[in-house]
Amino acid sequence: MFEGIQNLPRIPELRRRLGFTLAMLAIYRLGVAVPTPGIDGEALGEFFKAAQATVFGMVNLFSGGALERFSIFALGIMPYISASIILQLMTLVVPHLERLSKEGEQGRRKITQYTRYGTVGLALVQGLFISMGLEQIQTPGGGSVVYDAGWSFRLMTMLTLCSGTVFIMWLGEQISERGIGNGISLIIFAGIVAAIPSAIGATFEFTRQGELGVLVLLVLAALMIGVIGIIVFVERAQRRIPVQYAKRVVGRKMYGGQSTHLPLKVNTAGVIPPIFASSLLIFPGTIAQFVQHPAFQRAADFLQPGGMFYNVIYVAAIIFFCFFYTAVTFKPDDVAENMQKAGGFIPGIRPGKRTAEYIDRILTRITLGGAIYVSIVCVLPTILISRFNVPFFFGGTALLIVVGVAIDTVAQMQAHLIQRNYDGFMSRGGRARGRTG
């Protein structure tokens, strides 16, 4: 497969898509360095050093350091993800949205438009709460992080953060349409990867100072490598259901008669459940951190990453979203109907409703296994890291997102190569077959 990567520059369309994707990600990383007006960056940096192990550590990780700098991209893509969750949940209870979801491309565009409106609304609300919270923050040295508090600062912050989120949303959509991979996932991926060098440097510095033992460091490194191996193995695992197609005579030709299989991924939902679950837990936790009230402070304590209450809710949310997203994206009834129309059947299973029930039963079982796997990967390393008092937040959720997005992106590259009759990812020689354009 790696030898076939040399064929990537030889395909003009794929080369353009890769270049466009890298350019959009570079623009995103440049925007992370642009600060929001009216903020004392040094004072805010002191505050984040003290709050590194809280929910801010997770938000800052997913935003690629934008929250710590309080840049124009400080909210990141989380408002868009939250709006997507709300729209998908409303699809199950609102008849109008349910009809739109079944209208194909036109309905999908309409739901996407509603998601954009919801993103703007959530970004404005979050921007208001964050601006009010920033006015209340006192650094360890007793300084304030806001130069000129008041409604002028609040409105400016709301508009700045909302504009940044909308721009990131646009970048993600452009990457999905004109680049390679899922744009939203790649933006989160870029934010996490950008934090890895500094996290590694900080870890070695703490090891050099004796605050982190060498043996603990080796255990954590081995744990990370093992988790990456498990993620790669499970993400590529499939449950293959045998499918037989009956022979048909059309005119003077005979079609069908071949045996194939229906592949069902163990983790059908991919990295979406932990992203959805994290965004749901981050939103109330962030507000609770900014609002100075005993009730909100107790809620913030409960929602600290690595805490027992947080992990229980996190696991429950991951399992729910694994089943929910799988049910939304994979329809056993539609698969059974299309299979029957094409003359296909599962050996020993009656076509139609029985086939749909059989597929649904298998899908439920492997989804349960996939949900348990995702929960363990996301929670167990976090528990161990908090147990060893590692001074940065980089748990299983970040590993799952990084590895999962990388696998999906490489798979899309492979699909482009195969589509143009290149076998660079499939054969050792990496030579093309057929046309090369």
Domain locations in the chain? 3-419
Strand order across the 259-265 sheet:
259-265, 238-245, 344-345
Give me the pLDDT at residue 422, please.
Answer: 46
Give me the pLDDT at residue 435, please.
Answer: 40
The answer to whether 37 and 160 have CB atoms below 8 angstroms apart is yes
Distances in Å between the Cα of 298 and the Cα atoms of 282, 294, 366, 393 are: 15, 6, 38, 21
Give me the pLDDT at residue 428, please.
Answer: 46
Rounded distance between C-alpha atoms, residue 113 and residue 212, angstroms: 49
Rounded distance between C-alpha atoms, residue 23 and residue 46, angstroms: 32
Instruction: Please tell me whether residue 121 adopts helix, strand or coil conformation.
Output: helix
The answer to whether 400 and 278 have CB atoms below 8 angstroms apart is no
Chain mean position to CA 239:
23
Give me the pLDDT at residue 53, please.
Answer: 47
Please name every residue paired with 356 in a beta bridge, in sequence order, or none if there are none. none
Rounded distance between C-alpha atoms, residue 258 and residue 246, angstroms: 8
Give me the pLDDT at residue 19, please.
Answer: 87
Q: Taking phi first (over 0 means left), then psi (-120 to 50 degrees means alpha), and beta for anything else, what does residue 38 get?
A: left
The answer to whether 143 and 43 have CB atoms below 8 angstroms apart is yes
For the chain, residues with pLDDT lower than 70 are 1-10, 41, 43, 45-68, 138-143, 211-212, 247-257, 282-297, 299-301, 303-306, 381-382, 384-396, 419-437
Rounded distance between C-alpha atoms, residue 381 and residue 373, angstroms: 13
Instruction: Please tell me whether residue 297 adopts helix, strand or coil conformation.
Output: helix
Tokens of 32: 């992370």
Q: Where are the alpha helices (DSSP H) in 63-148?
A: 66-69, 78-91, 95-101, 105-136
Give me the pLDDT at residue 339, please.
Answer: 82
Distances in Å between the Cα of 254 and the Cα atoms of 37, 244, 257 are: 71, 15, 9
Rounded distance between C-alpha atoms, residue 205 and residue 202, angstroms: 5
Give me the pLDDT at residue 429, please.
Answer: 46
Rounded distance between C-alpha atoms, residue 128 and residue 332, angstroms: 43
Query: Residue 391: CB partners within 8 Å, gap ≥ 6?
Result: 52, 53, 202, 203, 206, 211, 212
Rounded distance between C-alpha atoms, residue 63 and residue 133, angstroms: 19
Give me the pLDDT at residue 260, please.
Answer: 81
Instruction: Please tell me whether residue 245 adopts helix, strand or coil conformation.
Output: strand
Query: Residue 202: CB partners within 8 Å, gap ≥ 6?
Result: 391, 392
Rounded distance between C-alpha atoms, residue 148 and residue 146, angstroms: 6
Of 139, 140, 143, 165, nearest to 76 by C-alpha is 165
DSSP notation for 316-369: HHHHHHHHHHHHHH--HHHHHHHHHHTTEE-TTS-TTHHHHHHHHHHHHHHHHH
Rounded distance between C-alpha atoms, residue 208 and residue 389, angstroms: 16
Give me the pLDDT at residue 1, please.
Answer: 46
Please name every residue paired with 261 in a beta bridge, in sequence order, or none if there are none. 242
Rounded distance between C-alpha atoms, residue 349 and residue 346, angstroms: 5
Q: Domain 3-419 falls in which CATH fold?
A: Preprotein translocase SecY subunit (1.10.3370)
Query: Which sign does the torsion angle of CA 120, 126, 130, 131 carry?
Result: positive
Q: Establish how many alpha carbons lie within 13 A of residue 20's alpha carbon, considering only the half-sphere containing its beta carbon.
A: 18
Give me the pLDDT at residue 296, please.
Answer: 63
